[in-house]
Amino acid sequence: MMQTIPLERYEKSASYIREKIGGAVPETAVILGTCLGPLAEEIEEPVVIDYTDIPGFLVSTVASHAGKLIYGMLSGKRILCMSGRFHYYEGYDFNELSIPIRVFHLLGVKQVILTNAAGAINYNYKPGDICVIKDHINLCGASPCRGQNLEEFGERFYSVNGMYDQKLRELAKSCAVKLGFSLQEGNYFFAPGPHYETPAEIRAMRLLGGDMVGMSTVTEALTAAHCGMKVLCLSLATNLSADRTADPDEGIDKVSQMVSGRFGALLREIVRQL
């Protein structure tokens, strides 16, 4: 039987981080996904903490993820930033993937900005597009909140209607227009990975309403909803989905480098207006 993570584990992580950041209470946290790590270098007055130093935390095994928690100033606001995240395909159970968000909750975070790199399912999307996520589809049959409920984080049964906050989505779209471009808005389809999806799976995802497909984000969003935190998710289309290209991995690095400046500007403007 799966073991529920005890509250003490989350509290140890939070206590260590709280001490390192001088007892500050950051209201906003940002999780940077694949190809989006360079934004972390723009944080001013940074306090950098390796994931490996945080008791009870997880360790990133993805080579492109820095594996660091950074506290500091971005656009005049104090934020917590995860440079690199954790995935089911790394071998973590869904309940373990609740740890970062629940630790943020204990630190006083009220809203979280999730970012990811994903494949474009929607025929109208192309590599380089940024999509603000309005909903997700998770057919894996698992939840990060499975197991004994910890009332300190939320109720046993909770609604996920409006999980991706509409006001934050509207803010993101208005910030993009201010910067001279527009955002897509669609649904994120969760795939466990680490292999890419088959063309048949992609066609099924499209029929079910998926616009983007990726291997992260949903566990963080579900955990945040359980904790009563507001969620904004921005998904960068770095490649076409498997039924639209012979090699879904082709061009990911090139696209991410091409769009990183625009994506970073968008995040900075959103944080400025929060």
Radius of gyration for the chain, computed over Cα atoms and rounded to the nearest angstrom: 18
The owner of tokens 């039987």 is 1
Give first-to-last CA distance, the chain, whole Å: 42
- The amino acid at 256: S
**Nearest alpha-carbon partner for 217 in 111, 120, 144, 146:** 144
State the pLDDT at residue 33. Answer: 84
63-89 confidence digits (pLDDT tens): 666 789 999 999 999 999 999 899 999
Q: Is 155 exposed, middle or buried (0-12, 13-18, 19+ CB in 10 A)?
A: exposed
Q: How far apart are CA 83 and CA 236, in angstroms?
A: 16
Q: Which of 237, 238, 233, 240 is nearest to 202 (CA)?
A: 240
The C-alpha atoms of residue 133 and residue 169 are separated, in whole angstroms, by 8
Please check whether residue 99 is in contact with residue 13, taking contact to mean a CB–CB distance below 8 angstroms.
yes
Look-up of token digits 């389809």: 189
Residue-wise pLDDT for 21-52, tens only, equals 999 999 999 999 876 777 888 899 999 999 99
Beta partners for residue 111, in sequence order: 28, 230
Q: 41: buried, middle or exposed (CB in 10 Å: 19+, 13-18, 0-12)? A: exposed
Whether the Cβ atoms of residue 125 and residue 211 lie closer than 8 Å to each other: yes
Residue stretches of the chain with pLDDT short of 70: 1-2, 35, 63-65, 246, 250-251
CB atoms under 10 Å from CB of 181, counted, come to 12
Instruction: Give the DSSP letter string of 195-208.
Output: SPPPHHHHHHHHHT
